[in-house]
Amino acid sequence: MAKCENCGKGPQFGQNVSFSQKKTKRQFKPNIQRITIYEDGKKVRKRLCTRCIKSLSKV
């Protein structure tokens, strides 16, 4: 699974819990997007989570 190249966020694991409290395994996947940004005057393609993309626009 893909990881954010800025913060390192990857998939997390947890459990679905039904009404009867039966637990099954599930996965929480981060919202990873491929984005082209300028780094040192060069275009660079990176995989970033949406939180990092949002914070990049504020800098």
- pLDDT tens-digit series, residues 11-56: 999 999 999 999 999 999 999 999 999 989 999 999 999 999 999 8
Overall pTM surpassing 0.95 (yes/no): no
Query: CA nearest 49: which of 5, 15, 1?
Result: 5
Q: Which residue has the tokens 């637990």?
A: 23
Question: Domain limits of the chain?
Answer: 12-58
- Cα 25 to Cα 11: distance, rounded to the nearest angstrom: 13
The dihedral formed by the CA atoms of 7, 10, 15 and 17, expressed in degrees to the nearest 10 = 70
Contact yes or no for 46/56 (Cβ under 8 A): no
